[in-house]
Amino acid sequence: PRLWIASLARLIISPLIVWALFRLVPVDPMLIDIMVVLCAMPVATNGTMLCYQYGGDSRTMAQGTFVTTVLSIITIPILVMVIG
């Protein structure tokens, strides 16, 4: 359950916070949209590689990479529709 909560926070809550905060700053809206979409990307495989290298919990990291990648197929288009 913690993995699912962390994944949803990474893919939905974090980008919405970035969107809300940067709407207050006078910047080009296109730049804000790019930052939000980049913030909504899934966890990179670099974390898994670093876990292997430094003896971390690579199984949980690999599961997190998989879950965020699968969920991002759904969350990124929804997020783009919300901010667009």
DSSP assignment, residue 60?
H
pLDDT tens by residue, the chain, 84 residues: 889 999 999 899 999 999 999 999 999 999 999 999 999 998 887 888 888 889 888 888 889 889 999 999 999 999 889 887
Give the pair of three-digit tokens for residue 83: 């901010």
pTM, two decimal places? 0.79
pLDDT value of position 32? 92
The domains of the chain are located at 2-83
Residue at token pair 């905060």: 21
pLDDT on residue 70: 93
Q: What's residue 5's pLDDT? A: 93
3-class state of residue 10 by DSSP: helix
Say what the pLDDT of residue 47 is. 83
1-4, Cβ contacts within 8 angstroms, sequence gap of 24 or more: 3/60, 3/63, 3/64, 3/67, 4/67
Contacts of residue 83, defined as CB under 8 A and 6 or more positions apart, other chains included, come to 19, 32, 33, 36
Spatial distance between the Cα atoms of 40 and 30, rounded to a whole number of angstroms: 15
